[in-house]
Structure 1
Amino acid sequence: MAKTKKIFDTLLFKRLFKFIKPYKYVFIGVLAAVILLALFGAARPYILQQAIDKNIATRTFDGFLPYILIMAALLFAEVVCQLLFIFYSGWLGQTVVKDIRVKLFNHIIRFKMKYFDKSSVGVLITRSVTDMERIADVFGEGLFMIFRDLLTMLVVSLVMVYMNWELSFIVFLMLPLVLYATRLFQKYMKKAFEEVRNEVSNLNSFVQERLVGMKILQLFTREATEYGKFKAINERHKKAWLKTVWYNSIFFPIAELSSSITIGLIAWYGGLNIVISSTASLGDLTAFIMMIPMLFRPLRQIADKFNTLQMGMVAANRVFNVLDTTSQIDDSGTTELSHLRGHITFNRVHFSYVEGEDVLKGISFKVKPGETVAIVGATGAGKSTIINLLNRFYEIDSGLVAVDHINIKDVTLASLRKQIAVVLQDVFLFADTILGNITLNNPNITEAQVVQAAKDIGIHDFIMSLPNNYNYNVKERGSMLSSGQRQLISFLRAYVTNPSILVLDEATSSVDSYSEQLIQNATDKITKNRTSIVIAHRLATIIKADKIIVMDDGKIVEEGTHYDLLKTPNGYYKNLYEVQFLKSEMV
């Protein structure tokens, strides 16, 4: 969506308005309350004018009580309408935002990994949380408030003209000045709020990244440097907000001054008319003094609420930009996989994260059902990329990836990924219980199944040693557990799903010897008669593999068993084994 230069983007508002359709009756009810508020508000000065001219000025008591009762009824009706208006306009705003937020989150979680590789997490959080609240304000404090104020101004103007056109003319002489000032104010405030939203996104992104990377920041004593950067970003944020403060400080005194001058002119001219020509009454003068704030105050409020509306529209534009982003994996496949034998085929697969920079250069290999295949190679050789492509986190540039001789593009994403369990080197745990992190709240996995699985792979005793056992909360990113313990939980999470294909992406590279032994025992159990792909790091896994694929610079350079590859003179794997793995074996 192109960035709008308009003061008010009608197309953007129409798009936002579509989310109101399910709640149209509430919307109509709020509009009805707005109309009644405008009518009741304008009626009070008129009733007061009648009471003054017919009773107070003439000192006549007859007929005075009905005016008092009518005024009381109008005030009561205004209170009721105001209550309904405030509650249901706020309810409508929060309900609409709930729907947009759900749609946005549902959209984001289906993005390709490539999108997250290039996008700031802090910015996405701002779009999903802070910007959403600004959109809610469009309905709760912006749109309806502006409509109410405009309608109040219209009704009050008509009542003024009906009561005394001469006094009305004086009032209307001052309106062009305030209207011109309001238009300028709106124009500059829109630019200011766009700058504010940019700086808020930058601030959120900076803070989020530093908090996540706090350990690295402190390890390399970057506190002072990052503090300086934060001060600079915060200063820009402050300056952006001060622009809005500056515009407010100019506009509102002008609007207030205009209102005061108008009241002064009305008091002067109306007073002269009462004394000299009697073309105005005391009731007219009182009613006009009462109505002038009702005419000018909405102008000030419209400008203020227009700020809210502008912030909401800017936020809506940013949110719709994310919603308009087409970064989903094509999920047009129709084949539902209920079970896989485990046959995997890569045929002349080319892939690049950045266009023109191939990571995989036409690789081809097959994995038979029940085989354990290890993939080895230097960092950046393309090992983990194979796993990403098998799960369709990224789309291949050319070639074929198939499971059980079915192109994975013809398979639904959900059914494909349900058949594959992955244990990563960098384990991510949610701020939840151990049980919640293992089942990921899947209702089809019971606690009894989890306990039995933990016993099968030998980590039940470790979990039972923790406070609250399976209900132990590991906190954010599993910070209450060691890296080895986190790896064990991740391994159990994969095991309990009973996958057709198991993938271990250097799953034992950062664990202690005790945890490694537990995982190795579990690996022997879970890989038995199950297709397994192991991104190899530790020697034991490589030796037991049915086949080893050796990669270098995006190509497969060797393929065979551990012992066959060691027989290859000056072979890549043999050199790798002698340089890296033989040392580990000696230790």
Structure 2
Amino acid sequence: MKNMLDNGFTTAKESWDWLLYPAAIVGVFIARAALGFCGDYAMAWVSNNVIAELRQEMIARIVQLPVGYYGDHVSGRLMSRVAYDVNGVANAATGALTTLVKDSLSVIGLLCWLLYLNWQLTLVAFAMVPFIAVAVKGFSGRLRRVSRGIQASQGTITQVLQEAIEGHKVVKIFGGQQYECDRFRRSVQEQRRLNMRVAIAAGAQGPIVQFFAAIALATIMAIALRQVGNDQTTVGGFVSFITAMLMLLAPVKRLTDVNAPIQKGLAAAESVFSVLDEKPEPDNGTVTLGRARGRVEFSEVSFTYPGAERRALDQLSFSVEPGESVALVGQSGSGKTTIANLLPRFYSIDTGSIRIDGHAIADIRLDSLRDNIALVSQDVVLFNDTIAANIAYGSKQGASIEEIRSAALAAHALEFIEMLPEGLNTQIGEKGVKLSGGQRQRLAIARAILKDAPILILDEATSALDTESERHVQAALETLMQGRTTIVIAHRLSTIESADRIIVLKRGQVIEAGTHGELLDRKGAYFQLHHLQFAEGN
């Protein structure tokens, strides 16, 4: 602008130099379009890559976290962090960062040009910087705090939605539709309120900054016009200075507006990295078992769940020989399920020791320890995949179709699998919703059979089944238990009468042990439990 106004109009009469100016403008815009496309594509690639890698890192850390972490954190909030908070980090790391760098360079370049043209007038512009900085700082803390609240509310929304969908039968049968709608409405309204607070802060910040910029521009314009009148600057210099000042407004506005996404991104980063910074399960073991013989020994084991007042296990001692089946019975809270949780080291014991083949489980590598243990519980966990994929899960996903069929046959599951439209390739839906309870349980048994671990834990594996399903499942369990060290946790005493040994627990201690017949003859705690169930059954 300066060169064209000062020289362009005079040279246009004498040569073709005037063509340089329109040609330069076309060239600048072509270059800007090409570089802009490349920049947009590159930043989109970076943004999507940041999101993908953060999500992969988060799920890699989540599956390594201790069991206690899942009890202390709502699953909906964890899902929200992976699904939504990562986007906030990516936006701050790419879009906001790009604006910050690009517009900062634009502002620096324009200020250098302004200093070159007229340093006195430029100092007037600098006088507004402290006022703008104070305004931006004042809004930053507010935006960060509200952004944390928005992320928490997003987790609540996800949680309420997840519970309403997963519990849809309970919602329907107990008439909870309006209750769930009210819960969801409160969560959504809370997030809307917080979003409006962000909108107020972000919206007010821009006009305040622009107000100071307008004061600076008006002051500069008045002084510049005075200087032109006194021949202290040229028309071209004046126009160039004003143009540069006007060009400053857009990047300055974007720089102030970028504060909101940056604060959201910082709050999201706190949420995301709080997961990534969590310590995974401790694994200080150095012993690799190979295939264990299966001798299990609990020696004076004591354990208290975090936050509990009473010990779940109190100086508990018992042992299981290789290939032996031992049933654990007792009233609720006696410590049966705690034993099942401690053997695979889902929790670490307080005192005492748990040994497998003479090795303390704390000294065994976690992967080696769990390779030797199979678990079948009342709460069957199946995935929204094919039957074959659910049987050949995890370390067994490379199993052949013949091996999967053999495991299904041994689990008495092949008979219903072959009746399904696509057999082993049938999709079973979320949590196996397309199958009955007995069918789901038999798939879990087939999965344990395919794993072929020497130690087996059966945690109330038949308690929720009808008589016909229980018959099939019990036959499958007998096949599974052959040649394996088995710890059976049972509520129905009729299902464990054939166990090699029955241990009766009370308040985390062994109070009786023996075979079914021996314990009945003693007429102690087991006899009372058996008599009570028999009376209830009649």
TM-score by length of 1: 0.85
Matches within 5 A, 1:144-163: 144-163=98-117
**Residue aligning to 1:359:** 312
How far off is 1:387 after superposition? Answer: 0.7
Contact (CA 8 Å) 1:93, 1:138: kept in 2 or not?
no
2:515 aligned with 1:561: yes
Match for 1:294: what amino acid?
M
**Residue aligning to 2:282:** 330
2:357 aligned with 1:400: no
Which string of whole-angstrom CA distances, capped at 9 and with x for unpartnered residues, describes residues 533-576 of structure 1?
Answer: 1112344431111111111221111100001111013x111111
How many residue pairs get aligned? The number is 535
Report the more deviating stretch, 314-323 or 55-64: 55-64
**Residue aligning to 2:402:** 448
Which string of whole-angstrom CA distances, capped at 9 and with x for unpartnered residues, describes residues 52-100 of structure 1?
Answer: 2211377546322233333333333333333333332333343344333
**Residue aligning to 2:526:** 573
Contact (CA 8 Å) 1:167, 1:266: kept in 2 or not?
yes
2:153 aligned with 1:191: no
Match for 2:506: what amino acid?
D
Q: 1:528 aligns with which of 451, 471, 482?
A: 482
2:56 aligned with 1:106: no
Report the more deviating stretch, 258-267 or 415-424: 258-267
Q: 1:209 aligns with which of 153, 163, 172?
A: 163
2:377 aligned with 1:412: no
- The 1-side partners of 2:535 and 2:147 are apart by 62
Contact (CA 8 Å) 1:329, 1:394: kept in 2 or not?
no
2:295 aligned with 1:343: yes
How far off is 1:406 after superposition? Answer: 1.2
Which string of whole-angstrom CA distances, capped at 9 and with x for unpartnered residues, describes residues 205-240 of structure 1?
Answer: 333334333333443333333333333332221221
Matches within 5 A, 1:119-518: 119-165=73-119, 167-169=121-123, 171-172=125-126, 174-259=128-213, 270-271=224-225, 273-274=227-228, 276-326=229-279, 328-354=280-306, 356-440=309-393, 442-518=396-472
Q: 1:91 aligns with which of 18, 37, 45?
A: 45
What is the CA RMSD across the aligned residues, in angstroms? 2.4
Match for 1:357: what amino acid?
R
Match for 1:104: what amino acid?
M
Match for 1:415: what amino acid?
S
- The 2-side partners of 1:526 and 1:165 are apart by 87
Contact (CA 8 Å) 1:93, 1:135: kept in 2 or not?
no
How far off is 1:418 after superposition? Answer: 1.2
Report the more deviating stretch, 123-132 or 209-218: 209-218
**Residue aligning to 1:31:** none
Contact (CA 8 Å) 1:200, 1:237: kept in 2 or not?
yes
How far off is 1:266 after superposition? Answer: 5.5
How far off is 1:113 after superposition? Answer: 1.1
Match for 2:293: what amino acid?
R
Contact (CA 8 Å) 1:375, 1:548: kept in 2 or not?
yes
Which string of whole-angstrom CA distances, capped at 9 and with x for unpartnered residues, describes residues 339-366 of structure 1?
Answer: 1211111111111113542011111111
- The 2-side partners of 1:501 and 1:55 are apart by 91
Change (3 A) 1:551 1:57: farther
**Residue aligning to 1:45:** none
Change (3 A) 1:57 1:246: farther
% same residue: 31
- The 1-side partners of 2:525 and 2:34 are apart by 83
Q: State the SS of the aligned residue for 1:332.
A: coil
Change (3 A) 1:57 1:199: farther
Change (3 A) 1:464 1:293: farther
Change (3 A) 1:537 1:51: same
- The 2-side partners of 1:60 and 1:290 are apart by 26
Match for 2:515: what amino acid?
T
Q: Which runs of no fewer than 5 residues in structure 1 stay unpaired?
A: 1-47
Q: State the SS of the aligned residue for 1:184.
A: helix
Q: State the SS of the aligned residue for 2:233.
A: coil
Q: Which runs of no fewer than 5 residues in structure 2 stay unpaired?
A: none
Contact (CA 8 Å) 2:202, 2:260: kept in 1 or not?
no
How far off is 1:485 after superposition? Answer: 1.5
Runs in 1 of length 4+ with deviation above 6 angstroms?
A: none
TM-score by length of 2: 0.92
- The 2-side partners of 1:226 and 1:51 are apart by 69
